[in-house]
């Protein structure tokens, strides 16, 4: 049984080595993320900043102020 296990182990090890050598000798072709990843990230950050910058500057929101004492109920109409 021991020689059979050793043969199986060496066969598996040889297959792994063969796969590693084959991958090491292949030329690396850039993927979409390699080519455009940084530009897509920067473009998304720019759009995000522009949209939220517009929202924060165009909405007339008084940030952090309490309406207590400034809001008065209107008279009831019957």
Residue 71's pLDDT band, with cuts at 50, 70 and 90, is: confident
Which pair of structure tokens corresponds to residue 74?
Answer: 């209107």
Tokens 């008065």, residue?
72
Q: Say yes or no to pLDDT of 24 above 90.
A: no
Query: Tens digit of pLDDT for each residue in 33-51?
Result: 888 999 999 999 999 999 9
Task: Output Rg (C-alpha) for the chain, integer angstroms.
Answer: 33
Domain ranges of the chain: 7-53
User: Cα–Cα distance between 75 and 78 in angstroms, integer?
Assistant: 10
Task: Collect all residues with Cβ–Cβ distance below 8 Å to 33 and sequence separation of at least 6.
Answer: none
């Amino acid at each position: 049984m021991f020689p059979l296990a050793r043969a199986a182990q060496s066969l598996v090890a040889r297959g792994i080595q063969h796969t590693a050598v084959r991958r090491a000798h292949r030329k690396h072709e850039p993927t979409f993320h390699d080519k455009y990843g940084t530009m897509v990230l920067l473009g998304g950050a720019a759009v995000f900043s522009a949209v939220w910058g517009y929202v924060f500057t165009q909405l007339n929101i008084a940030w952090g102020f309490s309406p207590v004492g400034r809001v008065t109920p209107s008279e009831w109409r019957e």
